[in-house]
Structures are given as C-alpha cells and as structure tokens.
C-alpha cells in the first residue's frame, strides 16, 4: 500500500533492536484518514475470506480493527491484557512481548469468541508472530477458526510471517519491511 509506505518513510523512526516507531500516526497519535485507507485495503484483501468477526489485542490493534469492522460490517472483539473479575467463560493464553521483553496473559470471554466463529485477526505489527500465535490459541480453545490475519506493518526480518504462513494461516501485510539495518527503512518490493 503505497500511501502507507510513504507515510512510514516520512514519519517513522527506527529505534535500536529492530523497532520501528510510528507514534505520530498509528501507536499514539492516530491518523483516521490513513486508518480508513488501511481498513479499505484489509476489506478488499479479505473480501472472500468468509470472516464473521474481527479479533485484535488491546491497545494498538483496536484502531485498525474497529475501522476494518466498520468497513466490513463485522463485530470486533479485542483480547484484554488484564483479567476482569466479571468476565464470563474466560479463555486465556500467554504471549511473549517483543517490545516489552516480558510475557503477559491475554484473555477473551467465551461469550464473544464462540465455536464455529470465523475470525479475522487484525493488528498493527507482525514481528516474531507471538501475539498472532496467542490469538490462534484462543481461537482453538473457543472452537473458532481463523479466516485470516492482517497486519499494517510486517517486519519480515523477524520471521513471524514465514512461521504463520508455514502453519497454514492466510497472512496479509500492507507494508512489508525487509530491513531496519543501519536505521534505514527498506521495504520488500
């Protein structure tokens, strides 16, 4: 998606350790016009995937997920990082966070992720694929299926995309970064 790549080049910042900071338009301040274009593109790519619900993880996934849900006319559920005492039929799993360098739990209610659901997972970044594996585990526990996974930015050099595709998941990424070496952003052509 050219508009997204141009914005990443213009406003994205490389940090140490292969991290891309996109705080001015995705992760802190958000650009709703760009996010709508992201959602339109996910909707186009997953039009025939047969998804009936969108799933994401709080907090950064919520903006692209809700916009995609709006465009596709699908409900959106987000996995929570704190377990509410009021949650009924809780399903939970552990995820290792690459950016925070620690493991945390994510949970969803079995009320909203149900047997037979066809889930489309939407998130901001794909790095090592741990968040996506966590979502796949929640779907498995619920008896739901994953119709696809869509990421705004995939960092190909961290190999999560290869792992998920080898596991048989349909993965679509709108901007694929080949390298952040020497703090230069290089896209896959």
Euclidean distance between CA atoms 162 and 178, whole angstroms:
13
CB of 123 to ligand 5GP, least distance (A): 5
Residue 186 contacts ligand 5GP per CB under 6 A: no
Among 19, 49, 66, 87, binds ligand 5GP (CB under 6 A): 19
Annotated binding residue 130: yes
Euclidean distance between CA atoms 160 and 128, whole angstroms:
4
CB of 48 to ligand 5GP, least distance (A): 25
Among 7, 8, 12, 20, binds ligand 5GP (CB under 6 A): 20
The DSSP element (H or E) to which 21 belongs, if any, is: strand 19-21
Residue 128 contacts ligand 5GP per CB under 6 A: yes
**Cα angle: 76, vertex 169, 45; to 5 degrees:** 60
Euclidean distance between CA atoms 158 and 77, whole angstroms:
27
- The number of beta carbons lying within 10 Å of the beta carbon of residue 133 is 18
Q: Which residues bind ligand 5GP (CB under 6 A)?
A: 19-20, 22, 27, 60, 98-99, 123-131, 155, 160
Binding residues for 5-phospho-alpha-D-ribose 1-diphosphate: 127-131
């Amino acid at each position: 998606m050219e508009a997204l790549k141009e914005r990443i080049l213009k406003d994205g910042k490389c940090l140490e350790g292969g991290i891309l900071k996109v705080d001015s338009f995705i992760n802190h301040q958000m650009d709703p016009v760009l996010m709508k274009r992201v959602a339109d593109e996910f909707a186009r790519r997953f039009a025939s995937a047969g998804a009936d619900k969108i799933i994401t993880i709080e907090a950064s996934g919520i903006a692209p997920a809700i916009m995609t849900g709006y465009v596709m006319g699908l409900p959106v559920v987000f996995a929570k990082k704190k377990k509410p005492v009021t949650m009924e039929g809780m399903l939970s799993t552990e995820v290792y966070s690459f950016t925070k360098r620690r493991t945390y739990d994510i949970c969803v209610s079995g009320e909203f992720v149900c047997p037979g659901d066809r889930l489309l997972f939407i998130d901001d970044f794909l790095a090592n694929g741990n968040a996506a594996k966590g979502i796949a585990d929640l779907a498995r526990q619920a008896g739901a299926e994953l119709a696809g996974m869509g990421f705004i930015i995939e960092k190909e050099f961290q190999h999560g995309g290869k792992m998920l595709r080898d596991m048989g998941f349909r993965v679509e990424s709108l901007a694929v970064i080949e390298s952040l070496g020497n703090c230069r952003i290089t896209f896959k052509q």
